[in-house]
Amino acid sequence: MDIIPVANVVTTEEDARAVYEVVKSGWISKGKKVDAFEADFARVVGARHAIAVSNGTAALHVILAALGIGPGDEVVLPSLTFISTANAVLYLGATPVLVECAPDTYNVTPEILEAAVTPRTKALVPVDMNGMPVDYNAVLALGERLGIPVVSDSAESLGASYKGRRIGGVSPIGFFSFFPNKTVTTGEGGMITCSDDAFAERCRVLLNQGQEGRYNHVALGFNYRMTDIAAALGIVQLSRLDSIVAEKNNIVAAYREFLADAPGVSLPVEPAYVTQHSWYMFAVQVDEAIRDAVVAHLKDKGVDTRLSFPPIHNQPYYRERFGSKAEDLPVTWRTWRRLINLPIWPGLTREQIAYVAATLKEAVAACS
């Protein structure tokens, strides 16, 4: 039986040639290709600065370090996201304050963030869950009113737009990931975007072992440089961004068509402020009592799925370190227990989408 994967890396001969040319040149570490990728990225998303790093986690680590965050500080972020968002806070000795999500969008709201703010809060990190932007005007207004920096975790939302503006050009500070299942990949890689010149320079110093100039180390920095090999792949991948996002939106339209009358299946919500969703994942909800049985049925029928990222506050390390438990964030816990990520990737055919939808309806009916 052929398996329909939940995600699929799409690379081309053009990608391979770009990487080969860099390898053949003899200059494979950080160089002109990284510079070109940063310039292309800034232009595409509308950012003043784009700063390439080795991965998305490194991007957030550098940003928080550049903000001066350290022991005794708190950073507010959602529990329903990948664990690296919280881990980067711990790297600096600060405390991640994990909060609820809205059950319809899976994103945080300004009200949720503000309720967790204390005198020790030094940053707010909203996450564009599954590639859908948060309500940026409202969140940025909150940060400005409280005097707290907002760091946009846009790891999943490259290609998305908020009220007509590309993500990356909306928030003064943000970052992206280029992991293989992201819209654009460099194998591993990340990008910091920001609007402040001095902050951009601080990030560049920190990601390069704290160097200003050659072997002049002015800060405790990191080795988070991107290679020219990765950047060469990123340049070509980025040139296809619009077509990739358009294809994903067509896939979502087909899912909505095939699942419009599916009893017991709730489809993703798209708020009016989202001009374009990038659809990192297409997450549906079913009754939590049957979620795992539905997933097993889909697997038996050759449909790969994911259960979204398990809430951070219930991960073993966080339970042990902070004494947290699933019930501490009941909305997040109940929401996660209903979620199933369906296959979505460029090249997924209409026939495959129809099969996934039919199999999902069959599974829900059988398990109810």
In DSSP notation, 294-322 reads HHHHHHHTTB--B--PPPGGGSHHHHHHH
- Prediction pTM value: 0.96
Quote the CA–CA distance of 13 and 233 in Å, as a whole number: 11
Residue count of the chain? 368
- List the chain pLDDT tens, one digit each, 368 residues: 689 999 999 899 999 999 999 999 999 999 999 999 999 999 999 999 999 999 999 999 999 999 999 999 999 999 999 999 999 999 999 999 999 999 999 999 999 999 999 999 999 999 999 999 999 999 999 999 999 999 999 999 999 999 999 999 999 999 999 999 999 999 999 999 999 999 999 999 999 999 998 999 999 999 999 999 999 999 999 999 999 999 999 999 999 999 999 999 999 999 999 999 999 999 999 999 999 999 999 999 999 999 999 999 999 999 999 999 999 999 999 999 999 999 999 999 999 999 999 999 999 999 99
Question: Quick one: which of 37, 34, 45 has its CA closest to 195?
Answer: 45
For residue 260, the model assigns a pLDDT of 97
Task: Give me the amino acid identity at 165.
Answer: R
Cβ-Cβ contacts under 8 Å for 298 (sequence gap 6 or more): 304, 305, 340, 356, 359, 360, 363
Active-site annotation holder among 33, 122, 182, 248? 182
For residue 1, the model assigns a pLDDT of 61
Q: Which domains does the chain have, with CATH numbers?
A: 13-239 (3.40.640.10), 241-367 (3.90.1150.10)
Taking phi over 0 as left and psi of -120 to 50 as alpha, with beta for the rest, 163 belongs to left
Tokens of 268: 């993703």
For residue 2, the model assigns a pLDDT of 86
Cβ-Cβ contacts under 8 Å for 267 (sequence gap 6 or more): 255, 256, 259, 284
- Report in angstroms the alpha-carbon separations of 51 from 5, 89, 149: 32, 20, 19
Cβ-Cβ contacts under 8 Å for 121 (sequence gap 6 or more): 73, 74, 75, 76, 97, 146, 148
Helix (DSSP H) and strand (DSSP E) numbers for the chain:
13, 12
Is 182 among the catalytic positions?
A: yes
